[in-house]
């Protein structure tokens, strides 16, 4: 006889409603994500062919509707930006975690890194345009875009590297020092190798940020879609990345064919970002295990 | 005694190496000083060629330029003179300091001296501009090897002189210099945004600029009130929609979800953060805008590109930020709080809403503020869905945000119009700085609370 039981299960409508809201919110997040990814991949994947990836682009020539130049430009920007920014960012993280004593300078560095990560990319774009393109006379060029992006991703690199350097057990350092190694030797020979997966995560996260960036590159690296001729020529010339190509083709599209190019570009971008995301996840997992 | 090195010998050898480094640094520094008197920059203005040394740049009044109609004297900017003089003085100081055994100070002097060519480079564009005003378009500037030597030699000398104190000292100084890059960047960005934005505000008038209701570049009317209000409306809308969903999702992830389910939802949120903003804009343009256009109650009132579309897209874009920060702060709430509440007979749900969320509120607030920053600063997604007409904000009307105002017109603007765009950048920068500083303040307070 359940009714005579001491334990009465109360119905609490408020509780149920709140629980429902919590689950609904999580569902909204997942459904939105799946909706966006599904929509773009569904419409874009059919148009990703080898020809699409390997031919140059031209607005007039119907035979040339590929994204090869954009892929090359994106790669240039990713590589050069990382070459500039990664050494600076990793060195900053080393200084902050291994050398710095708490003081005004360290506070200033931390504060400015935080400020830097909050500045919107359009401001970086304006700044890069006035300083690198005009004052340093680089015009709109890939190099100007790289220099702008290098500042843009600095906080990402510093913060993630810092975290992984801090996670290296102090006993490793002490052990090495007890064996008579100098500080530099300890940092470069013990701490940095131990934190390597974390450092690589930082680099991959930064790559994702660069691949996805558009507003900061709009005025600095420009919108030219010419096929790159040589490395040195290209980095001093204007070139659009995949994101800017998507932006430009989507805005100018006036026929279903043109829209398909935009769909396919968006799908390529999503796949790239997805892969980078997985890579970062894998790296940080090996780091936690190690 | 062959093969055994006594400590005295070793010291002798070390000091020999040290003196070698010092000598090399001093020599390279002296070459730097000499370079200031060698041919440095070549200016070609149409047919006139000027090859000048750094010394001449500092001492001559300017260049006589003969144009087709106008002939004038183009003055050398004061900044160039100061930079050049500072460069040579610092190089001399560096050499003296290294001779008198002050390697750290010498290294600093050398590196600053090596930076001066960059200032010359920057101010050279002022000379070019002045020449362009004389109606001469054929201008070219060439930098000769002494110029490049001063740049690289300065860095070389400073590395050498720091090395005198040993590799450890050199490494520490280099790490320090690199970590100052972010401080330098923020300073330079702030200075440039203010320097580029202030002239237009002064010319238009702060009141007219901020509170002017019409933006019409052709008529030279630059009032950005509609842009400011639209940006605020868009951000508020995104926060109103995004914050409840974001906080509830973070509750789901940190509190109620089974671990296996949370493991599926968490990467989804992470991936949401990684999608490029252009892709969001593209999705909005093709799905949300048509949906708004064809939604029965809105039909005939809107073309689809609207504040509402921007709000929806921004709400999705701020979600990951809010979820991540809130989840971290929910997880940081001590387990004993929950246990105490449950022991008093509160249900798990009541515990979450009455105990856990209030305990984590400063962290959640920090997440919301970070989301506000994202929403105000977002450009490309908004540009693709908001219609970009500088109207006063209305839910179904086309609007232009501060960010999109800059991005739309930058490519073809000139004169006061272009300066006005930089001034918009300045206003946006001030907005962001307010958001940033309050975020730092609040997240610090959160940390203090946790410490208690």
How many beta carbons lie within 10 A of that of residue B208, not counting itself?
15
Beta-carbon separation of B175 and A212 below 8 A: no
Picking from B167, B245, B279, the nearest residue to A28 by CB comes out as B245
Quick one: A28 and A70 in the same domain? no
CA-nearest residue to A148 within chain B is: B185
Which two structure tokens, joined as six digits, stand for B147? Answer: 């110029």
| Residue A252 at interface with chain B, using a CB cutoff of 8 Å | no
Inter-chain contacts counted by CB atoms under 8 A, chains A and B = 255
R_g over Cα of chain A = 25
- Answer left, alpha or beta for residue B220, where phi above 0 means left and psi between -120 and 50 means alpha: left
CB proximity A42 to B under 8 Å: no
Q: What is the DSSP code string of A23-92?
A: HHHHHHHHHHHHHHHHHHHHHHGGG--HHHHHS-B-SS-TT-B--HHHHHHHHHHHHHHHHHHHHHHHHH
Does B197 map to a domain? no
Q: How far is B81 from chain A (nearest CA, A)?
A: 17
**Residues of chain A contacting residue B124, judged by C-beta atoms under 8 Å apart:** 137
Residues B139 and B259 grouped into a single domain: no
Residue B158 sits in the same domain as residue B225 = no
Asked if residue A251 has pLDDT above 80, the reply is yes
Give the up-direction half-sphere exposure of residue A139: CA atoms within 13 A in the CB hemisphere.
Answer: 9
- Do A62 and A39 share a structural domain? no
Judge if A258 and A120 occupy the same domain: yes
Please give the residue that has the higher pLDDT: either B449 or B150.
B150
pLDDT of residue A91: 94
User: In chain A, which residues have their Cβ closer than 8 Å to the Cβ of B168?
Assistant: 182-184
Residue B251 belongs to a domain: yes
As beta bridge partners, residue B262 has: none
For residue B380, the surrounding DSSP H or E stretch is helix B380-385
Sign of the Cα torsion A129, A131, A132, A134 reads positive
Nearest to A96 among B179, B247, B282 (CB): B179
Q: Which pLDDT belongs to residue B19? A: 82
ipTM value for the complex: 0.92
Rounded to whole angstroms, the Cα distance separating B400 from B156 reads 50
Distance of CA B227 to the CA centre of its chain: 22
Contact yes or no for A153/A203 (Cβ under 8 A): no
Domain that holds residue A72: 50-289
For residue B286, give the chain A residue with the closest CA. A250
- Using DSSP's 3-state secondary structure scheme, residue B423 falls into helix
Q: Residue A36's Cα: distance from chain center in Å?
A: 19
Q: Are residues A269 and A141 in the same domain?
A: yes
Show the DSSP H helices in B36-75 as ranges: 54-59
* Closest chain A C-alpha to B314 CA, distance in angstroms: 13
CA B224 from centroid of its chain's CA atoms: 23
Tell me what the mean pLDDT of segment A10-22 comes to.
86
- pLDDT value at residue A58: 85
Write the CATH number for B389: 1.10.3720.10
Where does the pLDDT of residue A1 fall: very low under 50, low under 70, confident under 90, or very high at 90 and above? very low
Q: Kindly report the CATH number assigned to the domain that includes residue A159.
A: 1.10.3720.10
Which residue range is the domain that position B327 belongs to?
215-451
Q: Tell whether B183 is covered by a domain.
A: no
Instruction: Specify whether the CB–CB gap between A99 and A92 falls below 8 A.
Output: no
DSSP for A99-149? IPPSSHHHHHHHHHHHHHHHS-HHHHHHHHIIIIIIIT---S-HHHHHHHH
> What is residue B5's predicted lDDT score, i.e. its pLDDT?
66
Percent of residues, chain A, with pLDDT higher than 90: 57
**What pLDDT band is residue A121 in, cutting at 50, 70 and 90?**
very high
A23 touches chain B (CB under 8 A): yes
CB A95 within 8 A of CB A192: no
Q: Is B337 exposed, middle or buried (0-12, 13-18, 19+ CB in 10 A)?
A: middle
pLDDT confidence tier of residue A286, bands split at 50, 70 and 90: confident
Residue B85 burial by CB count (10 A; 0-12/13-18/19+): exposed, middle or buried?
middle
**pLDDT value at B115 more than 90:** no
- B167: chain A residues, CB-CB within 8 Å: 182, 184
Residue B11 — φ and ψ, nearest 5°?
Answer: -60, -40
In this complex, do A214 and B380 lie within 8 Å of one another by their Cβ atoms? Answer: yes
Is A25 found in the same domain as A150?
no
User: For A212, which of B246, B247, B274 is closest by C-beta distance?
Assistant: B274
d(CA B49, CA B141): 10
Closest CA to A201 of A286, A92, A271: A286
Q: Give me the residues of A, 264-283, that contact B with CB < 8 A.
A: 266, 269-270, 273-274, 276-277, 281
Please tell me the predicted confidence (pLDDT) of residue B1: 46
**Same domain, yes or no, for A37 and A87?**
no
Residue among A92, A208, A247 whose CB faces B179 most closely = A92
Bridge-based pairing of strands B39-45 and B62-66 is unpaired
Least confident of B61-75, B143-157, B201-215, B277-291: B61-75
Which residues in A lie closer than 8 A to residue B386 (C-beta atoms)?
none
A254: distance to nearest CA of chain B, Å? 13
Same domain, A103 and A241: yes
Summarised one tens digit per residue, pLDDT across range B267-325 is 889 889 889 999 999 999 999 999 999 888 887 788 889 999 999 999 999 999 999 99
Task: Write the pLDDT tens digit of every residue in B385-407.
Answer: 998 888 898 888 899 999 999 99
Examine the domain organization and report whether B281 and B399 are in the same domain. yes
CATH number at residue B125: 1.20.140
Chain B CB contacts of A92 below 8 Å: 175, 178-179, 181-182
Across residues A136-163, what is the average pLDDT?
Answer: 92
Q: Which of B189, B285, B323 sits opposite A250 (nearest CB)?
A: B285
Using alpha carbons, list the distances in angstroms from residue B28 to B33, B69, B94, B98, B334.
9, 47, 11, 11, 61
Residue of chain B whose alpha carbon sits nearest to that of A209: B274
Hey, are the CB atoms on B425 and A39 less than 8 Å from each other? no
| CA distance linking residue B378 with residue B321, whole number of Å | 13
Residue carrying structure tokens 């890069």: A128
Show residues of chain A in contact with B280, CB under 8 Å: 36
Together in a domain, A163 and A272 = yes
3-state SS string for A167-212: CCCHHHHHHHHHCCCCHHHHHHHHHHHHCHHHHHHHHHHHHHHHHH
- Give a yes or no: residue A4 inside a domain: no
Q: Which residues are B49's β-sheet partners?
A: B44
Domain count, chain B: 2
Chain A residues touching B287 at Cβ < 8 A: 39
* B194 located within any domain: no
Whether B374 and B318 have beta carbons less than 8 Å apart is answered as yes
Quick one: closest CA in A to B373, which residue? A118
As a whole number, mean pLDDT of residues A252-264 equals: 87
Mean pLDDT of all residues in B339-347: 92
Please report, for residues A94, A100, A104, the alpha-carbon distance to residue A173 in angstroms, rounded to integers and kept in the order given: 14, 16, 26
Does A39 lie at the interface with B, CB-CB under 8 angstroms?
Answer: yes
Residue A6 in domain: no
Flag whether A3 is in a domain. Answer: no
With residue B143 as reference, give the H or E element that holds it. strand B139-143
Q: How confident is the model at residue B101 (pLDDT cuts 50, 70, 90)?
A: confident
pLDDT of residue B355: 92
Token output for B128? 């070019």
Q: Using CB atoms, pick whichever of B167, B264, B287 lies closest to residue A184.
A: B167
Of A32, A88, A277, the CB nearest to B181: A88
10 Å CB burial of residue A3 (0-12, 13-18, 19+) is exposed
As for how many domains chain A has, the answer is 2
Contact A78, A273 (CB under 8 A): no
Residue A130 domain-assigned (yes or no): yes
What is the distance between the alpha carbons of residues A63 and A215, in angstroms, rounded to a whole number?
29
Transcribe A215-269 into DSSP letters: HHHHTTT----PPP--HHHHHTS----HHHHHHHHHHH--SHHHHHHHHHHHHHH
Does residue A141 belong to any structural domain of this protein?
A: yes
Q: Dig out the tokens for B60 from the structure.
A: 């001559």
Whether residue A39 is found in the same domain as residue A54: no
Q: How far is A243 from chain B (nearest CA, A)?
A: 6
A40 and A176 share one domain:
no
- Residues A271, A252 within the same domain: yes
Token pair recorded at residue A160: 């993630």
Distances (CA, A) of A203 to A159, B22, B150, B203, B272: 11, 38, 33, 44, 19
Q: Are residues A82 and A196 in the same domain?
A: yes
Residue A164 to residue A93: CA distance in whole angstroms: 10
Q: Do A25 and B248 touch (CB under 8 A)?
A: yes
Q: Could you give the CA distance from residue B79 to residue B148 in angstroms, rounded to a whole number?
A: 19
Q: Do B422 and A88 touch (CB under 8 A)?
A: no
Do the beta carbons of residue A160 and residue A201 sit within 8 Å?
Answer: yes
> Which of A250-259, B109-118, B332-341 has the highest mean predicted lDDT (pLDDT)?
B332-341
Average per-residue pLDDT in chain B? Answer: 86
Indicate whether B289 and B144 sit together in one domain: no
- When CB atoms are compared, the residue of A26, A243, A274 closest to B278 is A243
β pairing state of B71-75 and B139-143: unpaired
Of A100, A123, A184, the CB nearest to B429: A123
Q: HSE on the CB side for B324, CA within 13 Å?
A: 16
| A contact residues 185-214, partner B, Cβ 8 Å cutoff | 187, 208, 211-214
Are residues A286 and A197 in contact, defined by beta-carbon separation less than 8 angstroms? yes
Residues of B in contact with A187 (CB under 8 A): 171
Least confident of A116-125, A166-175, A261-270, B134-143: B134-143
Token reading at B397: 């009307």
My answer on whether B427 and B288 are in the same domain is yes
Please report whether residue B195 resides in a domain. Answer: no
In a domain, B171, yes or no: no
- CB of A22 within 8 Å of a chain B CB? The answer is yes
Q: What angle in degrees, to the nearest 10, is found between the helix axes of B361-377 and B225-251? A: 140
- Which value, to the nearest 10 degrees, does the dihedral of the CA atoms of residues B297, B301, B305, B307 take? -80
Query: Bridge-partner residues for B71, per DSSP?
Result: B66
DSSP for residue B386: S
Q: How far apart are CA A257 and CA A262, in angstroms?
A: 9
List chain B residues with CB under 8 Å of A124: 189
Identify which of A19, A30, A130 has the shortest CB distance to residue B192.
Answer: A130
- Taking CA atoms, A28 is separated from A35, B8, B19, in Å, by 10, 76, 70
Give the C-alpha separation, A263 to A250, whole Å. Answer: 8
Task: Say yes or no for a CB contact (<8 Å) between B403 and A214.
Answer: no
A39-54 per-position pLDDT tens digit: 999 999 999 999 998 8
Three-class HEC string of B307-364: HHHHHHHHHHHHHHHHHHHHHHHHHCCCHHHHHHHHHCCCCHHHHHHHHHHHHCHHHH
pLDDT per residue as tens digits for the range A155-196: 999 999 999 999 899 899 999 999 988 888 999 999 999 999
| The predicted structure's pLDDT at residue A282 | 86
In terms of domains, do B227 and B356 share one?
Answer: yes
């Amino acid at each position: 006889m359940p009714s005579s039981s001491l334990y009465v299960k109360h119905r609490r409508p408020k509780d149920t409603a709140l629980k429902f809201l919590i689950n609904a919110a999580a569902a909204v997040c997942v459904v939105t994500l799946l909706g966006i990814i599904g929509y773009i991949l569904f419409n874009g994947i059919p148009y990703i062919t080898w020809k699409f990836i390997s031919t140059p682009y031209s607005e007039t020539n119907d035979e040339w509707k590929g994204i090869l130049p954009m892929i090359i430009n994106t790669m240039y920007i990713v590589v050069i930006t990382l070459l500039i920014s990664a050494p600076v960012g990793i060195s900053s993280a080393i200084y902050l975690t291994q050398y710095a004593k708490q003081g005004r300078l360290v506070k200033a560095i931390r504060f400015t890194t935080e400020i830097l990560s909050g500045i919107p990319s359009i401001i970086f774009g304006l700044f890069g345009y006035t300083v690198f393109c005009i004052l340093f006379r680089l015009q709109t060029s890939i190099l100007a875009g790289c220099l702008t992006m290098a500042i843009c991703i600095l906080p990402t690199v510093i913060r993630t590297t810092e975290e992984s350097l801090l996670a290296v057990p102090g006993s490793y350092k002490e052990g090495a020092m007890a064996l008579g190694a100098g500080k530099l030797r300890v940092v470069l020979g013990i701490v940095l190798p131990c934190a390597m997966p974390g450092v690589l995560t930082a680099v991959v996260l930064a790559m994702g940020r660069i691949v996805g960036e558009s507003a900061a590159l709009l005025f600095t690296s420009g919108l030219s879609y010419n096929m790159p001729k040589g490395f040195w020529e290209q980095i001093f010339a204007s070139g659009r990345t995949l994101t800017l190509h998507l932006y430009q083709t989507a805005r100018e599209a006036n026929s279903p064919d043109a829209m398909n190019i935009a769909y396919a570009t968006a799908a390529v971008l999503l796949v790239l970002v997805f892969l980078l995301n997985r890579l970062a996840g894998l790296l940080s997992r090996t780091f936690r295990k190690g | 005694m062959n093969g055994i090195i006594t400590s005295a010998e070793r010291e002798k050898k070390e000091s020999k190496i040290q003196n070698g480094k010092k000598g090399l640094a001093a020599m390279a520094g002296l070459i730097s000083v000499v370079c200031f008197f060698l041919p440095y920059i070549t200016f070609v203005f149409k047919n006139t060629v000027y090859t000048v040394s750094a010394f001449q740049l500092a001492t001559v009044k300017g260049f006589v330029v003969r144009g087709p109609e106008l002939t004038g004297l183009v003055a050398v900017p004061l900044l160039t003179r100061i930079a050049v003089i500072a460069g040579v003085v610092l190089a001399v100081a560096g050499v003296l300091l290294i001779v008198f055994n002050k390697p750290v100070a010498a290294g600093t002097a050398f590196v600053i001296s090596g930076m001066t060519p960059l200032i010359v480079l920057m101010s050279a564009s002022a000379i070019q501009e002045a020449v362009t005003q004389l109606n001469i378009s054929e201008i070219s500037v060439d930098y000769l090897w002494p110029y490049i030597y001063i740049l690289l030699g300065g860095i070389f000398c400073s590395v050498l002189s720091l090395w005198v104190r040993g590799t450890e000292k050199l490494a520490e100084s280099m790490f320090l210099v690199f970590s100052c890059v972010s401080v330098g960047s923020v300073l330079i960005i702030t200075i440039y945004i203010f320097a580029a934005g202030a002239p237009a505000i002064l010319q238009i008038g702060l009141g007219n600029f901020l509170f002017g209701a019409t933006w019409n570049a052709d008529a030279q009317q630059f009032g950005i009130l509609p842009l400011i209000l639209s940006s605020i409306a868009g951000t508020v809308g995104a926060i109103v929609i995004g914050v409840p969903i974001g906080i509830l999702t973070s509750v789901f992830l940190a509190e109620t979800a089974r671990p296996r389910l949370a493991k599926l939802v968490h990467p989804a949120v992470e991936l949401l953060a990684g999608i490029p903003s252009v892709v969001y804009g593209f999705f909005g343009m093709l799905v949300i805008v048509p949906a708004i256009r064809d939604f029965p109650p809105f039909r005939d009132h809107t073309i689809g590109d609207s504040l509402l579309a921007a709000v929806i897209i921004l709400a999705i874009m701020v979600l990951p930020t809010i979820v991540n920060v809130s989840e971290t702060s929910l997880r940081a709430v001590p387990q004993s709080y929950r246990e105490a509440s449950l022991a008093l007979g509160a249900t798990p749900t009541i515990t979450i809403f009455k105990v856990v969320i209030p305990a984590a509120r400063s962290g959640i607030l920090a997440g919301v503020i970070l989301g506000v920053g994202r929403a105000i600063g977002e450009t490309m997604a908004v540009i693709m869905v908001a219609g970009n007409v500088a109207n006063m904000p209305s839910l179904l009307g086309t609007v232009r945000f501060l960010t999109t105002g800059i991005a739309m017109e930058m490519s073809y603007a000139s004169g006061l119009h272009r300066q006005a765009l930089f001034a918009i950048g300045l206003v946006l920068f001030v907005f962001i700085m307010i958001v940033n500083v309050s975020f730092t303040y609040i997240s610090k307070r959160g940390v203090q609370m946790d410490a208690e």
